[in-house]
Structure 1
Amino acid sequence: MSSEQPLRIIHCFRSPVGGIFRHVRDLAEQHSKAGHEVGIVCDSSTGGEHEERLFEQIRPYLSLGLTRLPIRRSVSVRDVRAVWDSYKTIKSLRPDVLHGHGAKGGVLARAIGSVLRVERYRVARVYSPHGGSLHFDPSKLSGRAVFFIERRLERLTDQLLFVCGYEQSVYESKIGNPRCPAQVVYNGIGEQDLSPVPTGPDGASFLYVGMLRDLKGPDVFVDAFARAERAVGHPLSALIIGDGPDRERYERMRTQMGLGLRIDMLPAMPVRDAFARSDIVVVPSRAEAMPYIVLEALGAGKVVIATRVGGIPEVLGEDSEALVAPGSSEELSRVMAKALTSPEWARSIMPDAKTFRARFSASTMAADVMEVYRSRLKTD
């Protein structure tokens, strides 16, 4: 296949929400603009009005269409119908590449791609775990069963693609060293996300943006804010922006700690609108893979303070002074206070802007993924 020939690419995944959906949208846009034909197959039962708006934004780049079918989260006999319907749709589109994202998307892409190969149809089968089955506990029977299946599916995999080194290391520790080609291609953000967002005159001292659930650490943020206030010796301000199941509990927490007037809470909004509210973005997560919020905040020119989890150290630097232990409000508060009182120090420990752009742009991500696609088709 000529390196100049446009490819026909189908992305398969289950739920059109969160990081997977963002990743696929970015790849679809970048590859479509480069002249390739792209389509999506995903679940029809998840997502709401926000996701529908995102689909409308990406439709112009989906020359192979958007196919939505019922794809359940848990394994079910109903999956047979979903697989059959997906197979008929994908076969009719004659893709060169089937790229599965997440556990269910990975099964669909590799199973259907393998059937097409039996029928002597040439297609590259690519799988990006994106967490997915890697979240299972290897000490439990369910986890061991999932990892056994993942190991067997490697036989149907032409390429494993991980969004960060952390994700690859988890795969290796839980499933084993890949028996098929494997590579890390970092998530990237678009040009629209790689320009500074100035903070307004009434900006808060600190900003938290994200889901309101304990896994993401808003409770740690509130406690660390109180400690940082005591450390600097005068009142500060903070803003929590987002929605989630534990919102009311965090509202009670700030009130009970006497912080109701200094920590404001707003519903989710476009992330760059949120960035205009503060110079310092705090990411206090207890667990992550490769969170876009860190990339977006750095792209907007913000100081980022985060926990040492997932792929975050790969972005900020393994030895970055902006990293703290997950769950430690005391350690987090010390860095927050220092960043506020020593802004030059805070800026100096952020990644170099030019290096960051070269490594974490959507164009770099798309080019690296395309190189993988072509290499798999070339060696087929």
Structure 2
Amino acid sequence: MTQSTTEQTPLRIVHVVRSPVGGIFRHIADLASAQADAGHQVGVVCDSLTGGAFEAEKIAAILPKLALGSVRLPIAREIAPSDLRAMAKVKAALTPLEPQIIHAHGAKGGVFGRLVGAWMGRSRPIARFYAPHGGSLHYDSRSAEGRLYFAVERALERITDAMIHVSGYEAETYVAKVGRPRCEAFVVRNGLTPPEFELVEPAPDAVDFLFLGMLRDLKGVDVFIEALAKLAAGRAAPTAVIVGDGPDEARYRAMVAERGLADRVSFRPPTQTRDAFRLARAVVVPSRAESMPYVVLEAIAAGLPMVCTRVGGVPEIFGPFADELIPPGDADALAAAMAALAADPEAAKAAALARRAHVGDEFSLKEMSARIENIYRNAIEIRLTRR
């Protein structure tokens, strides 16, 4: 990629996303903060229907860095008649901000951001970028929903300057399900800040295992509970904490009660990641699908023993340690891996520190932000040469 001649010019950047929760918003918050620190003017547009006090606090935490502010307005998760009204509101919010860059994230954000950017771009140049973060790529290409979403993805390539994937796996999945992009496409993996590489020590009353994330089947919470039940039926009787919220929380609480685990498994609302890490001696990530999950990066950087499934971009994070990963959706394999970890805590800690050294060399927020800025600037340069 060539160096842009506009390198020193501050940019006006707006990130558009539907759901301000989980790893996708962690990515946006980190990137927006780094961009603001680099001297750019940054704003965020996101949904007002998703999340609660925890998410509101996250938005408030980055607000001082957002020179272009934060706008929340109602955006339905699924395709709905209200989308036209919501899109008009997104345009009304973006127009006075006069962005040079619209960086759209996730399936719905990708549609809104690129369509509004193209609409506004009729009067002045606006570069449009799209990061799927898994999103529609989780759909089966044989399903009616999948075919619809992938057709939309294909059509929107024509108004996209570049796609920015967070993992090689995501880029490959896009090609397999949608087709080879008719715009430029790059892989820029998520990165962490130096303080996140400080070791986390478990609290004195820490339980054996932690699940941290959205409470939905895609994240494998049901598999985690089944694995705990299998261990409890044998000699081991592990303790665990499930931290997060989501659409399937009530069902998971019922599963825990039905399997006689209520005295050994507790639930807690979303909390800061490193505070959650102190609640347990090991982290379990039993996901059925992921792209480039922050929780895996953060747990490894914190030096925590962990059990994780082989999904999405996780093998890219584990690198030379990818053979430690287990198949998704397999409660027996998960239980066996958890039992092995608990049986030899010293070996588990040594393995955790080896993974930490690897991640420290490969994943950096500074590098992530710099690469994305270079992608932006090259797209702007191309647009300027076409005028």
TM-score normalised per structure 1: 0.89
User: How far, CA to CA, are the matches of 2:293 and 2:181 in structure 1?
Assistant: 24
| Equivalent residue number for residue 33 of structure 1 | 37
Q: Which residue of 2 aligns with 1:263?
A: 265
For 2:76 and 2:339, locate their aligned partners in 1 and report how far apart those are by CA, in whole Å.
46
Change over 3 Å in CA distance of 1:264–1:21 after alignment to 2: closer
The match for 1:288 is 290
Given candidates 96, 114, 117, the residue that maps to 2:118 is 114
Alignment deviations for residues 244-302 of structure 1 (CA, whole Å, 9 cap, x no partner): 44445444544554444333443433222221122211111222222221122112210
Q: How far 1:97 sits from its partner (Å)?
A: 1.0
Comparing 236-245 with 300-309, greater Cα deviation is found at 236-245
1:274 pairs with one of 273, 276, 292:
276
How far apart are 1:8 and its partner, in Å?
Answer: 0.9
Say whether the 8 Å CA contact 1:206–1:280 is kept in structure 2. Answer: yes
In structure 1, distance between residues paired with 2:255 and 2:144: 37
CA contact (8 A) 1:172 1:178 kept: yes
1:5 maps to a residue whose letter is: T
User: Which among 335, 352, 356 is matched to residue 353 of structure 1?
Assistant: 356
- Structure 2 match to 1:97: 101
Give me the whole-angstrom Cα distance separating, in 1, the residues matched to 2:207 and 2:145: 45
303-312 vs 359-368, greater mean Cα deviation: 359-368
Say whether the 8 Å CA contact 1:211–1:242 is kept in structure 2: yes
Aligned to 2:193: 190
Q: Could you tell me how far 1:76 is from its partner in structure 2?
A: 4.2
Report if aligned partners of 1:306, 1:324 keep a CA contact under 8 Å in 2.
yes
Amino acid of the residue matched to residue 167 of structure 1?
E
The whole-number CA distance in structure 2 between the counterparts of 1:284 and 1:374 is 38
Is residue 134–residue 290 contact of structure 2 (8 Å, CA) maintained in 1? no
- Aligned-residue offset at 1:59: 0.9
Flag the 1:142–1:283 CA change in 2: closer, same or farther, 3 A: closer
Range moving further from structure 2, 101-110 or 352-361: 352-361
Could you tell me which runs of 5 or more consecutive residues in structure 1 were left unpaired when the two chains were aligned: none
Q: State the distance in 2 between where 1:253 and 1:80 align.
A: 40
Q: CA deviation at 1:27?
A: 0.9
Shift of 1:54: 1.7
80, 84, 90: which one aligns with 1:86: 90
Tell me how far apart the structure 1 counterparts of residues 175 and 228 of structure 2 sit (CA, whole Å).
37
- Counting only pairs closer than 5 Å after superposition, residues 149-298 of structure 1 correspond to structure 2 as 149-228=152-231, 233-298=235-300
> 2:54 touches 2:271 (CA, 8 Å); kept in 1?
no
Q: What is the Cα deviation at residue 305 of structure 1?
A: 0.7
Q: Give 1:357 shift.
A: 2.6
Aligned-residue identity in percent = 44
Which amino acid is the alignment partner of residue 292 of structure 2? M
| Contact persistence 2:24–2:133 (CA under 8 A) | yes
User: 2:50 maps to what in 1?
Assistant: 46
Sort the Cα spacing of 1:4 and 1:287 in 2 relative to 1 into closer, same or farther, 3 A. same
Corresponding residue for residue 310 of structure 2: 308
Question: Is the contact made by 2:117 and 2:128 (CA closer than 8 Å) also made in structure 1?
Answer: yes
Aligned residues: 378
Q: Which residue of 2 aligns with 1:299?
A: 301
Moved more, 284-293 or 302-311: 284-293
Unpaired runs of 5+ in structure 2?
none
**Does the residue aligned with 2:322 lie in a helix, a strand or coil?**
coil
In the superposition, relative to structure 1, how do residues 137 and 202 fare at CA in structure 2: closer, same or farther (>3 Å)? same
Letter in 2 for 1:131: G
Q: Helix, strand or coil for the counterpart of 2:90?
A: helix
Per mean C-alpha deviation after superposition, the further-off stretch among 22-31 and 11-20 is: 11-20
TM-score normalised by L of structure 2:
0.88
Work out whether residues 321 and 355 of structure 2, in 8 Å CA contact, stay in contact via their aligned partners in 1: no
Distance 1:230 1:318, change over 3 A: farther
Alpha-carbon distance in structure 2 between the residues aligned to 1:66 and 1:213: 27
Partner of 1:11: 15
Q: Within 2, Cα distance between the matches of 1:67 and 1:235?
A: 47
* Corresponding letter in the other structure for 1:23: H
SS at structure 2 position matched to 1:118:
coil
Q: Is the 8 A contact 2:48 2:75 kept in 1?
A: yes
Equivalents in 2 of 1:151, 1:248: separation in Å?
Answer: 37
**Greater CA drift, 178-187 or 47-56:** 47-56
User: 2: distance between equivalents of 1:253 and 1:102?
Assistant: 31
Instruction: From 123, 126, 130, give the equivalent of 1:127.
Output: 130
Does the CA-based 8 Å contact 2:49-2:75 persist in structure 1? yes
> Letter of the aligned partner of 2:26 in structure 1?
R
Moved more, 83-92 or 365-374: 83-92
